[in-house]
Amino acid sequence: MTARLRQVLSGYPELVTVLVAAAVGLGAPSPLRWLVRHQGVNAILAVLVFATAVTIKPEALRRASSAWHPLVVALVAGATVLPALSWAASRIVAAGSLRDGVMAIGLAPCEIASVATTAMARGEAALSAGVLVGSTLVTVAIAGPVLALEAGGTSVHVGHIIVNLVMVVALPLVAGLVVSGLRPLSARLEHAAATAAAVAVAVLVALIVAEVHVSIGYLALAGALIIFVVASALLGAVIARGSRPPVGTAIILTTSMRDFAIAAGLATSAFGDAAAAPLGLYGILVLVWGTGAAGRLRRRSI
């Protein structure tokens, strides 16, 4: 490993953690697949959502309301344009579990890590937190019916998807926000929550990557994922046009970074465990994009 590569990776510990977790998932898939088949993804996802929610301060959500217009536009685009983009990108992939997994990406909320990458880029982190909460609630409300429509209604049980999202995403999110609102966390507890979230992300990456069965179809999958990331970044730039730089940075990052873990939970609930496999690759790709974009946007703000 070159000195330059070590320097780059040392600046992005989250990315290093994800890469290590992916290597573990590929190297020891059997026990991890057992966990996936016994609700491992859902259990760890609930921990991740709760641990993240308790670190979102009420004042951050209040500050986000001052940028209500781009916030609303980002939420509407996330509920309409992004699902259409992921559906279109999925057509590149052969019918089956890989295509199903790609379809789920556009219905996921913004990536939990996008709040941190927005702060890294000197953007409006409070707005990112507002988009995170709003887009998560939108996902719970619409993901089941929209995914059933995109999949032609076959083998997709809308009621099961909605119940799963409520139990695994909505309830932990609301519980975490309530805890945060009742009493501010001490620095020690906040650090513990952030650590728990980071560990949960690593475990989820390992669980999801364990479902990977490398084949020639992954070439088309990689192309579809790259197309979706580029298209969602362009969409974010369009929404952010004319906004103040900190606001624009938040919109670009939250729009272009969708939550791979919730997408994996959604794909698993709708199509089965194998449909989560593409989300491990997407998670690595989107974190590479997000950290790289944050560095570039930060330099532009200086």
**pLDDT confidence of residue 28:** 78
For residue range 171-229, what is the model confidence (pLDDT) as tens digits?
Answer: 999 998 999 888 888 889 888 988 888 888 888 888 888 877 777 888 999 999 999 99
Q: What is the sign, positive or negative, of the torsion defined by CA atoms of 32, 172, 180, 60?
A: positive
Which domains can be identified in the chain, with CATH numbers?
A: 14-294 (1.20.1530.20)
Average pLDDT over residues 148-152: 83
**pLDDT confidence of residue 12:** 59
pLDDT tier at 7, thresholds 50, 70, 90: very low
- Determine the 3-state secondary structure of 215 from DSSP: coil
Q: How far apart are CA 231 and CA 254, in angstroms?
A: 13
For residue range 48-96, what is the model confidence (pLDDT) as tens digits?
Answer: 899 888 888 888 888 887 788 899 999 999 999 999 999 999 999 999 9
Q: How far apart are CA 175 and CA 50, in angstroms?
A: 7
Answer whether 99's CB lies under 8 Å from 93's CB.
yes
CA distances from 75 to 113, 132, 166, 234 (A): 17, 9, 19, 16
Residue 166 per-residue DSSP state: I
For residue range 224-262, what is the model confidence (pLDDT) as tens digits?
Answer: 999 999 999 999 999 999 888 899 999 999 999 999 989
pLDDT tier at 5, thresholds 50, 70, 90: very low
What pTM was estimated for this model as a whole? 0.84
**pLDDT confidence of residue 155:** 65
